[in-house]
Copies of this chain bind each other. A is one copy, B any other.
Amino acid sequence: MCDRKYAIIGTGALGGFYGAKLQQAGLDVHFLLNSDYEHVSQHGLIVESKDGDFTLPQVNAYNDVTKMPQCDVVIIALKTIQNYLLSKLLPPVIKNNGVVLVLQNGLDIEPEIAQIVSNVNIIGGLCFLCSNKVGQGHIRHLDYGQIVLGEYILNYEAVGITNRIQQIANDFQNAGIAIELTEDLLLARWKKLVWNIPYNGLSVILNARTDELMADSYTRQLVEQLMYEVAAGAKSTGRIIADSFIQTMLDYTVKMKPYRTSMKIDYDEHRSLEVEAIIGNPLRKAQNAGVFLPQISCLYNQLKFLDNRNKH
């Protein structure tokens, strides 16, 4: 397994960054591209990074998944709104018994993957990454970059740390990417939602940056109430998020540089919003456990309205 082949499904700000880092570290990486295919085939990838710039003049670029080799690890780095494509994209590129690594936000993506491909192992990853695509095949990495990885099994039951996940973590760490392993992927996903739901949602609805939301006492309170609703959602699925974690997230955001969330960037660019993965799925998961999350539901309906109007 020293020659693990990696596929990157979605070579954007996130997939392009991690894929380039893995190739730079000597791994065999295969990139699926769409609009940037021609350019990257000829010119490769450029990464400007706070950890050091580098270029990859030659990369394995594809615009057709059937031309890709079957890979040991297939990294899903699309926006979740494109996940409807996975039933076509994923089967040709994943080895039997290979690993699908889902580097996406939100909840309940892994069960969808499990419906598409069987006889694979699914790992979920939560990326704390601040990067942008600033041109064709040109990525600017601004801050952070660490990933929390956790193995997925049916119903998000907590599992131990397998050799498999440890090997993948080693590949990433050798490429200079900080990795934290978790035995409980579902808890890790809920914890990330504690931040993502209030700030992504309100930044779009109120046209506001994180610092503006925290400076106003009313939205500061609303953010906190939304965080407690996320914790109630987690609890409905048997996962406990401590009050102190919520306070830490609030304090952390106050200290952050003013930040425009990824959902706000998508909205401003008139791209579809990841409302279902980040807000709809958690809401339904709690609802299925008999718990209604009213303020998150309010955000959900507001965002669906705005997302729909924004695409016209």
Contacts and interface: CB of A to CB of B under 8 A. Distances in A.
Work out how many copies of this chain go into the complex: 2
A218 B205 CA distance: 14
A30 B298 CA distance: 46
Contacts of A212: 309
Contact of A302 (B205, B294, B305): B205
Nearest to A222: B301
Nearest to A216: B305
Given A205-B205, A306-B206, A308-B216, A298 B295 contact: yes
A280 to B, nearest CB: 10
Contacts of A202: 302
Interface in A272-312: 294-295, 297-302, 304-306, 308-309
Given A218-B300, A300-B218, A208 B295 contact: no
B294 A219 contact: no
Nearest to A306: B206
A301 B205 contact: no
A219 B302 contact: yes
B295 A225 contact: no
Nearest to A295: B298
Contacts of A208: 305
Contacts of A299: 298
